Structure 1
Amino acid sequence: VGLVVMGFMTGLRLDLFGYLFGDILAVGTNDLILIWGGGAVILAVLLRIWRPLLAATVAPDVAAAEGMNPARQRLIFMLLLAGVIAIAMKIVGILLITALLIIPAAAARRMAR
């Protein structure tokens, strides 16, 4: 919806194909710094919360009994995932990011049956 609204704004250059499919040639030095910095921050936070996140994912009741907050861990994980999507969107595009998120889970679900 936001891309459609931005498309109607005058005086704003909008490359829909770049957002949908990515454009690695349009990545500049500032973008690379943002990607590396954002990736480092996300990796550091993920390493910091790995054990509580794993406990909250495998057994939320046991994690809550041990004093952890599974809802907070899920929220932090969702925020990290949103950060990864926002960072990778310029390079690989929305469609490929969506495919990279959905296809492994769909394949695992099919194999688990």
Structure 2
Amino acid sequence: MNWMILIIAGLFEVAFAACLGKAKETTGTEANYWYIGFLVCLSISMILLVKATRELPIGTAYAVWTGIGAVGTVLLGILIFKEPTTFWRLFFISTLIASVVGLKIVSN
């Protein structure tokens, strides 16, 4: 169950990064709504991370949480924000995914 909580926390990390990206693209009231979304997603992500680390090792949990956030944010950047897709970006994202999965496998 704690791994599921950690994965959801990582997805909320991706969401708060997406809110920052959308806020950068807008102005005025719309930007403020995106910043509010950022704060809500950030809060949920942190609360879930704290909950997951009550049972999971902090080093592993934090690495998996940031890995989910990093991979998800790069993929969002490519798919939504039209960031470049290069061989090396995809290669290093793949190695990051392999590292996160490896941490999950070797953790108790």
Q: Shorter-chain TM-score category? A: 0.3 to 0.5
TM-score, normalisation: structure 2: 0.40
The structure having more radius of gyration, on CA atoms, is 1
